[in-house]
A and B are shown apart, each in its own frame.
Chain A
Amino acid sequence: MKKKSKRSSNINRRIVILQVLFFIMMAFITVRLYHLQILQHDFYSEKVLSRLPSLSTSAKPRRGTIYDCQGRELAVSVNVGSIYGIPRQIRQGGNFIIQQLCKILHLNTRRLEKKLDPKQNFVWIKRKVDPDVANRLKRLQFEGVGFCEESKRYFPSAGLAAQLLGFAGMDNHGLEGTELFFDELLRVNDKEKKGADLAKFFSSEDFDQEFIPFAGPYDLQLTINKVIQYQTEKELADCCTTMEAKAGLAIVMEIQSGEILAMANWPTYNLNNFSQYPARFRRNRCITDTFEPGSIFKIFLAASALEEKVLGPSDIVHCGNGTFRIGGRIIHDTHKHGWLSVSNVIKESSNIGSAKIGLLLGEEKFHTSLKNFGFGSKTGIQLPGEARGNIKPVNRWTDLTTANISFGQGILVTPLQIINAVCCLANQGWWRKPRILKALRNEEGEILELPDSGPVRRVLSKATCESVTKMLEMVVQSGTGTSAYLPGYRVAGKTGTAQKIDPESKRYSSKLFYSSFVGYFPANTPQIAILVSIDEPRKEHLGALVAAPVFRKIAQSIIRYQNIAPVEKKRYLKNQRWRLASTAP
């Protein structure tokens, strides 16, 4: 026992010796550090501070270009000059250099002096200036002023499709829109990484054969058509300014392919000066904002009811002469109606008729059908920030909910969901994902067409689609949507004037409206679908008067641009006569 404790104290003594050795080492290191860092500081700092960073990040590679569907440029990268300073070295040059810099670059002298703090090693004097200006400065050969080439994003058509395209920041990273969503594809990465990036955006079924990703940044070809986008934005802006609206949006889609031809927002902004605009200008309302759709939602009610064979187009419901009491509330119609056929409920846009159809259909079937149309879930468009909207779970639906949703209240949807569901109706009931990216291209011009992934599911039968289309044609020919009528063409569409919630009283307002029109043409072989929504128009408020004319103007310009033929003359004339007869007083 004694031996053991003696041994233990012996061990402890030796551990202390080890510890002391370590601390001697530490002291030695401290002395050496003091020698190096303090005593020899001047010697070394002179050596180090005279050099510039030997690695330069200036040679940033190009960011991929974004084209429209016909190869016209939407976003390009241009080379510009950036000017930086090494304050330590400028100090020796004195104030002259600073004065000259300020004169040529239009900078504030005092601010620049403050920026060029001699403690700093590297300061950006001005980034991304005109290459000519940079060259002029370069020739002056100021000591301590350096130059590098950077690439800057430039949008040739300034504000065109601004919210859709988005922009890239100072460091050429995508910050919004397609620039953000496809950032990894637009930026340079090595070949292996590129394959992984592609896999992130596309499923393997998107490619038919084994595809070997190519190096370099990808150029994107969008489905957007610059001409149609321009026309859409112009008509939208005209309407919004004359109606003194708060905001507006319009989407044009090609029905068979699901391609977005135009996606316009108002107010818009200049992408080349994006930082000067508040966030509300930059939001892509078409996908991020949800709204109560109002009467345009009756399209999906009618389609669901017909598909479930609850009613036929000519079955009649009673519209209660303008009032209908349900669940302790009273639903009103703008015009009093008695018995109306389903077709006429849609044509006259009767809320009571719709509520009754909805109640006959039943919440289970209605809910399932709406889900199938894609409401309450993202459409899966390749853009950032898509909202999913909101449908109450079916077990929380009361009769009042069913009645309300039948005419588009008590449900939140995005504009894109609406137009996509309308496309589904026009496309013989096949629901598909909206497409925004058409093809990829590399620097050598190799093109990778992204094959059409095809329809996802069938929501409606062909017969239902035809009946509903007929009803919607009636709306435009002789119902609420006559101002969307295009002579010579069969147009199907529906107006909507949704009451907005008053932010103060938290009730449906009688002054704030969300006026929309959604439609497609030609009705016999649908090609183009257009949605126009105007938020809080002040001059007028009916969808028929606000949004429908915009629809007509956009449709007219597309018809001219794409040479869409009118229906045969005989039929055209017949329609005209019929229309005149039906609208006669």
Chain B
Amino acid sequence: MPKQQTYDHLLFIVVLVLMGLGLVMVYSSSALVAETRYQVSSYYFLKKQAFCMGLAMLVLLGAMIVPYTFWRKMCYVLLLFSIILLALVFFPALGKRAGGACRWLNLSGFSFQPAEFAKLALILYLAHFLAKKVDDIEDMKAIFLPLFIVLGVSFLLIVKQPDLGTGVVIVLIAFSLVFAAGAKKRQLFGIAGLFSLCLGGLIWLVRYRLQRILVFMNPWKDPAGKGYQMVQSFCALGAGGWFGQGLGQGIQKCGYLPEAHTDFIFSVIGEELGFIGTFAVLVLFGIFIWRGFLIARRAKDPFARWLALGITCLIGCQAFINIGVAIGILPTKGLALPFISFGGSSLIVNALAVGMLLNISITV
């Protein structure tokens, strides 16, 4: 019996719902801050996000049409391109600094985060690499040397920005893929150990990271100072209760909760829509992960499988790290909540990724 050749409707709907919710929450959480802190119209962030969302939808639909094999052909080009972009950030003429970090590229009025793009480029490369070499998984050198070089370079460039959160996401995705590919326990422990050492070193070297970790252990030690963000996030979530204060009724976003429309948008959802709202978001991401893994398991082409897996891990890891920060089970990171947080680069790149995933879902 021939199987119906259609894309995964459920996955598509989940993404649409998340984006819609994102638009509403971005407006709710940014309106006041836009007027008072940024001195622009209260619709400023909403308009920008709506524009990016339109663009993202076009990208998504476009990527749904393009056969995924096309990306395999392009993977080296894209990888090289993303590494060049990552390096360009450090040139003062092109890079844009914000909040002490240098993560944006300025392109005639538009700013763009190359790290977002790099994540996807790396996934494409990993998928291609594993599809080619999966028979040699037990051969340490053949597999791990090129992997280490590519990953290492990107990782260093991203961490240098500094954007440790994205670096961690990349390593997590790579680790998941290598694990799924069938790496031995010994190998996995090796990678994990090496990475932990790296991470430990990075944390030790830069003082604020260590502080963040310590604060994360006990935010209530200094609720007005270093634990401020965390405590405000708890307050927002806690004030929500079962059903929340009502849409637009949150108080925490009015200057108490920093970065309410980007990093801590989940807390605003918690305050305004309550446990019902946050749980719904969690379930939506759960469905995404379920469908994503299903597509990966059903894929017959190895490249499609690894790509689907990588993309699912990308969305899943980002979502859970962002939520983890908001609920205080992870130290503060500058990661966006996929499809929901304000931010064009992340939205468009995630849409591109979903488009690829949906294209794969047509073939399985």
Asked if A pairs with B, the answer is yes
Question: Which residues does A use to contact B, with CB under 8 Å?
Answer: 7, 10-12, 14-19, 22-23, 25-26, 28-30, 32-34, 36-38, 40-41, 43-45, 47-49, 51-57, 119-121, 190
Contacts of A48 in B (CB 8 A): 235-236, 238-239, 251-252, 271
Of the listed stretches B34-42, B118-126, B197-205, B346-354, name the one at the interface; the rest are far from the partner chain: B34-42
Q: Are A33 and B270 in contact (CB under 8 A)?
A: yes
> 9 shortest A-B CB distances, which residue pairs?
A44-B238, A53-B254, A54-B255, A48-B239, A55-B255, A37-B275, A55-B36, A41-B241, A14-B180
Query: What residues of chain A lie closer than 8 Å to B309, measured between beta carbons?
Result: 15, 18
Question: Would you call B293 and A33 a contact (CB within 8 A)?
Answer: no
Q: Which residue of A lies closest to B308 (CB)?
A: A15
Cβ of B320 < 8 Å from any Cβ of A? yes
Q: Is the pair A36, B238 in contact by a Cβ cutoff of 8 Å?
A: yes
Bound-complex Cα distance A48 to B246 (A): 14
Contacts beyond the supplied A14-B180, A45-B241, A47-B238: 17 A-B pairs with Cβ under 8 Å: A7-B182, A15-B309, A18-B309, A23-B286, A25-B320, A28-B329, A29-B329, A37-B242, A41-B239, A48-B239, A48-B271, A53-B32, A55-B254, A57-B32, A57-B35, A120-B249, A190-B39
| A34 vs B251: C-alpha distance when bound (angstroms) | 21
- Which B residues are CB-close (under 8 A) to A19? 289-290, 293
B33 within 8 A of A: yes
Shortest CB distance A208–B (Å): 30
- Interface residue? B219 (CB, 8 A): no
Verify A54–B254 contact, CB threshold 8 A: yes
Asked if A33 contacts B182 (CB within 8 A), the reply is no
- Provide the residues of chain B in CB contact with A30, threshold 8 Å: 279, 282
Q: Which residues of B sit under 8 angstroms from A190, Cβ to Cβ?
A: 39
CB proximity of A40 to chain B, nearest CB, Å: 5
Task: Indicate with 1 or 0, residue by residue over B316-329, a CB within 8 angstroms of chain A CB atoms.
Answer: 10001001100111
Q: Are A15 and B255 in contact (CB under 8 A)?
A: no
Which B residues from 339 to 358 make CB contacts under 8 A with A?
none
Contact of A44 among B182, B235, B289, B296 (CB under 8 A): B235
Query: In the complex, what distance in Å separates the CA atom of A426 from the CA atom of B324?
Result: 77
Q: Which residue of A lies closest to B135 (CB)?
A: A7
Q: Can you offer 5 A-B residue contacts whose CB atoms are under 8 A?
A: A18-B293, A26-B286, A32-B329, A48-B271, A55-B254
Complex contacts, B252 vs chain A, CB 8 Å = 48
B137 → chain A closest CB, angstroms: 9
B293 x A37 contact (CB < 8 A): no
The closest CB in chain A to the CB of B244 belongs to A37
Q: With A40-B238, A51-B251, A57-B36 as given contacts, are A14 and B282 in contact (CB-CB < 8 Å)?
A: no
CB distance from B59 to the nearest CB of A (A): 26
Docked complex Cα distance between A34 and B327 (Å):
10
- Whether the Cβ atoms of B238 and A14 lie closer than 8 Å is no
Query: Do residues B278 and A54 form an inter-chain contact, with CB atoms below 8 A?
Result: no
Q: A19-B289, A36-B234 are in contact. Are A12 and B241 (CB under 8 A)?
A: no
Q: Which of B182, B282, B289 contacts A10 (CB 8 A)?
A: B182
Distance in Å from the Cβ of A565 to the closest Cβ of chain B?
A: 53
Considering only CB atoms and an 8 Å cut-off, how many residues of chain B contact the other chain? 53
Cβ B254 vs Cβ A37 within 8 A: no
What is the bound-complex CA distance between A38 and B274, given in angstroms? 9
CB contact between A22 and one of B246, B274, B289, B324 (< 8 Å): that residue: B289
Known pairs A29-B323, A37-B270; A51 contacts B237 (CB<8 A): no
**Cβ contacts under 8 Å, A23 to chain B:** 286, 289
- Tell me which of A17, A22, A45, A51 has the highest count of chain B C-beta atoms within 10 A of its own C-beta: A22
Q: In the bound complex, what is the Cα–Cα distance between A55 and B37 (angstroms)? A: 9
Q: In the docked arrangement, what's the CA distance between A14 and B182, Å?
A: 7
- Closest residue of chain A to B306, judged by CB? A11
Asked if B245 contacts A121 (CB within 8 A), the reply is yes
Is B297 interfacial (CB-CB < 8 Å)?
Answer: yes
Q: Are A41 and B238 in contact (CB under 8 A)?
A: yes
Residues of B within 8 A of A11 (CB): 180-182, 305
Q: Which of B251-307 contact A (CB under 8 A)?
A: 251-252, 254-256, 270-271, 274-275, 278-279, 282, 285-286, 289-290, 293, 296-297, 305
Whether A119 lies near B305 (C-beta < 8 A) is no
Question: Residue B196 at the A interface, CB < 8 A?
Answer: no
CB of B313 within 8 Å of the partner chain:
yes
Closest to A33 in B: B278
Q: Distance (Å) between the CB of A567 and the closest chain B CB?
A: 57
Given the contacts A33-B275, A45-B241, A18 and B179 also touching, CB distance less than 8 Å: yes
Interface: B6 (CB within 8 A): no
In the complex, what residue of chain A is closest to B329 when comparing beta carbons?
A32
Q: Indicate whether B218 reaches chain A with its CB closer than 8 angstroms.
A: no
Answer whether A45 and B329 are a contact pair too, CB < 8 Å, given A11-B181, A18-B180, A37-B275.
Answer: no
Q: Which residue of A lies closest to B183 (CB)?
A: A14
Q: How far is the CA of A53 from the CA of B320 in the complex (A)?
A: 30
- Check B179–A14 contact: CB distance below 8 A: yes
Chain A residues positioned under 8 Å from B235 (CB to CB): 44, 47-48
A15 and B176 alpha carbons, distance in the complex (Å): 9
B240 within 8 A of A: yes
A32 to B325, CA, bound (A): 12
From A40, A41, A119, contact of B246 by CB (8 A) = A119
Residues of B close to A44: CB separation below 8 A: 234-235, 237-239
For B238, the chain A residues whose CB sits under 8 A away are: 36-37, 40-41, 43-45, 47-48
Shortest C-beta distance, B304 to chain A (Å), equals 13
Chain A residue nearest to B285 (CB atoms) is A26
* B251, A121: Cβ atoms closer than 8 Å: yes
A119–B249 alpha-carbon span in the complex (Å): 9
Give the residues in chain B near A47, CB-CB below 8 Å: 235, 238-239
Inter-chain contacts of B32 with A (CB < 8 A):
53, 55, 57
Q: Which of B36, B249, B271, B278 contacts A56 (CB 8 A)?
A: B36
Cβ distance A37 to chain B, nearest Cβ, rounded Å: 4
Query: Which A residues lie within 8 Å of B246 (CB)?
Result: 119
Q: Which residues of B contact A43 (CB under 8 A)?
A: 238
- Chain A contacts for B254, CB-based, 8 A: 53-55
Q: How far is the CA of A26 from the CA of B282 in the complex (A)?
A: 7
Q: B residues within 8 A CB of A25?
A: 320
Candidates A16, A26, A41, A54; contact of B256 at CB < 8 Å: A54
CB distance from B361 to the nearest CB of A (A): 15
Q: Which of B1-36 contact A (CB under 8 A)?
A: 32-33, 35-36
Q: For A15, what are the chain B residues with a Cβ–Cβ distance below 8 Å?
A: 180, 293, 296-297, 309
**CB proximity of A42 to chain B, nearest CB, Å:** 9
B256 CB to closest chain A CB (Å) equals 6
- Complexed CA–CA distance, A19 and B181 (Å): 14
CA distance A41 to B316 in the complex (A): 28
A190 to B38, CA, bound (A): 11
Closest Cβ of chain B to A534, distance in Å, is 43
Q: In the bound complex, what is the Cα–Cα distance between A485 and B238 (angstroms)?
A: 82
Residues of B within 8 A of A14 (CB): 179-182
A419 and B201 CA atoms in complex are apart in Å by: 81
Q: Could you say which residues of chain A place their CB within 8 Å of the CB of B324?
A: 29
Determine the residue in chain A with the shortest Cβ distance to B296: A15
- In the complex, the answer to whether A55 meets B278 with C-beta atoms within 8 Å is no
The smallest beta-carbon distance between A193 and chain B, in angstroms, is 9
A37 touches B182 (CB 8 A): no
